[in-house]
Amino acid sequence: MSDSPSPHAALPTYDDVAAAADRIRGHARRTPVLTSRLVDAQLGAQVFFKAEPFQRVGAFKFRGAFHTLARLNPRQRRAGVLAYSSGNHAQAVALAAQLLEIPATILMPHDAPAAKVAATEGYGAAVVRFDRYTEDREELGRELAAREGRTVIPPYDHPDIVAGQGTAVKELLEEVGELDALFVPLGGGGLLSGSLLAARALAPDCHIYGVEPEAGDDARRSLAEDRIVHIATPRTIADGAQTQHLGELTFAILRRERPTILTASDAELVAAMRTLATYLKVVVEPTGALGFAAARARPDELAGRRVGVVLSGGNVDPERFGALLAG
């Protein structure tokens, strides 16, 4: 059964992550690794936070976007790019395009956070809005791109995106050495796939957890059922992980690497955001707190361990951040 030829004979490898690291050097930031003795005491573990709120555009997505755009040929660069995104991928493509002098059009949902829309337009991209509950952004994106000859830059299901996202965990492991466990936020699976490639090469014994919103546990179900499960757009405060399904490429990597998939509820995300603000003094958006929310819920499993947590982004309007923590 499993020896039928794979449609992904050439899945990206750790070498691709290493090549991506070379290509983004000097363009993406090498983000800090944060620690807190109080968090360590609470969890009874040693926790290393890779702080992607300090990445350019405030999230890891700049890594994959810059890497992918830097690999376009001159003809593709002239015709421009198009991306559809709930926010961080949009900002990442917009900034990468501006830096590389490539025209960019971004499709954004009607209810995307104001700060994300403003930032995307601020980078010089043309923003087109759509209704995320009634319109299929992929279809809309393909139509628009075909009309203008633009290259679609998908948010996660692309080997160059996956390789670029893997550079965050590569940096983390190079800085702190081997880990026993690693917690990674999970939407469409680009970050988790890249993290798996980096961790399997640099920390082969590390147990890797992908954490998705409780309201949208399609990845957990996809691995359990061995097929890409599609769901309706989940209603969760984790707006960066409101994906309806894994990609073919990310599913193929997850299926091979078998990470443990966990979920976190909105209440757990808020509690994690509060702890991160209090002890680490860092603003983390709800999606960015998925990994830590799941780690906090497992002190027994993690006792005495060296634990990595990817804080994937920090883009949340200050008013919304305040309201979430107050609520």
Ligand X SMILES: *Cc1c(COP(=O)(O)O)cnc(C)c1O
Minimum CB–partner distance for residue 202 and ligand X (Å): 19
How far is Cα 199 from Cα 238, in angstroms, rounded to an integer? 25
Q: In the chain, which residue ranges form alpha helices assigned H by DSSP?
A: 14-24, 37-43, 61-70, 74-79, 88-100, 114-122, 137-148, 159-176, 190-202, 218-225, 248-257, 266-275, 290-296, 299-302, 318-326
Closest chain position to ligand X (CB): 313
CA atoms within 13 A on the CB side of 323: 6
Residue 187 as a binder of ligand X (CB under 6 A): the answer is yes
Among 181, 191, 197, 294, the residue binding ligand X under the rule CB under 6 A is: 191
Max Cα-Cα span within the chain: 56
Q: Is residue 211 helix, strand or coil?
A: strand
Least distance from ligand X to the Cβ atom of residue 277, Å: 16
Compose the 278-317 pattern: x for residues touching ligand X by CB under 6 A, - for all others: -------x-xx-----------------------xx----
We find the least distance from the C-beta atom of residue 169 to ligand X, in angstroms, to be 12
Dihedral pair phi/psi, residue 149, rounded to 5°:
70, 25
Convert residues 45-84 into a mask of x (bound to ligand X by CB under 6 A) and - (unbound): --------------x-x-----------------------
Our finding on whether 154 is near ligand X (CB under 6 A) is no
| Spatial distance between the Cα atoms of 198 and 221, rounded to a whole number of angstroms | 24
User: Per-residue x/- marks for ligand X, 194-233, CB under 6 A?
Assistant: ----------------------------------------
Least CB distance from residue 206 to ligand X, whole Å? 18
Is residue 314 within 8 Å of residue 288, measured between CB atoms?
yes
* Kind of pairing between the strands at 46-51 and 33-34: antiparallel
Instruction: List residues with catalytic annotation.
Output: 61, 86, 212, 216, 218, 312
Judged by CB under 6 A, does residue 241 bind ligand X? Answer: yes
Across the strands, what pairs with 185? 211
Q: What residue ranges bind ligand X (CB under 6 A)?
A: 59, 61, 88, 155-156, 185-192, 240-241, 243, 285, 287-288, 312-313
